[in-house]
Amino acid sequence: MNSLPSDSAAELEDLLVLIKIGQLFAVQQWLASHQLQQLLEGETKSRCPLLEAVASGFHSMAEVLIKAGGWPQAQLNAAFDAATSSRRADRDMDLPSAFDEMR
């Protein structure tokens, strides 16, 4: 059972696809015309756009999503933990400064 209405769930899936395929400008357009919906805590790992961007290592994508705002602190914390706990230094370099702006 989805926590979001079907239209919102479909829009979220569209956003996740754009993130997965690395379409930064399309994500920026999506954010300009849509409002991010809050996910239930149990859905965060599998459907959180911010976590998806962090996992991809696409720093600019994660930064755009962070700056869009509206993230519950728990999701910011999870994304920060994922960014800083990865064993790849290239993923860790720039993201903490973007998270610092949100704190």
Find out whether 95 and 54 touch, Cβ atoms under 8 Å.
Answer: yes
The span from the CA of 69 to the CA of 75, in Å, is 11
Rounded to two decimals, what is the model's pTM? 0.74
> Tokens standing for 98?
């973007």
The domain limits of the chain are 6-102
Which tens digit of pLDDT belongs to each residue from 37-81?
776 666 556 678 999 999 888 889 999 999 988 888 888 888 888
Output the pLDDT for position 2. Answer: 42
Encoded tokens for 20:
């997965």
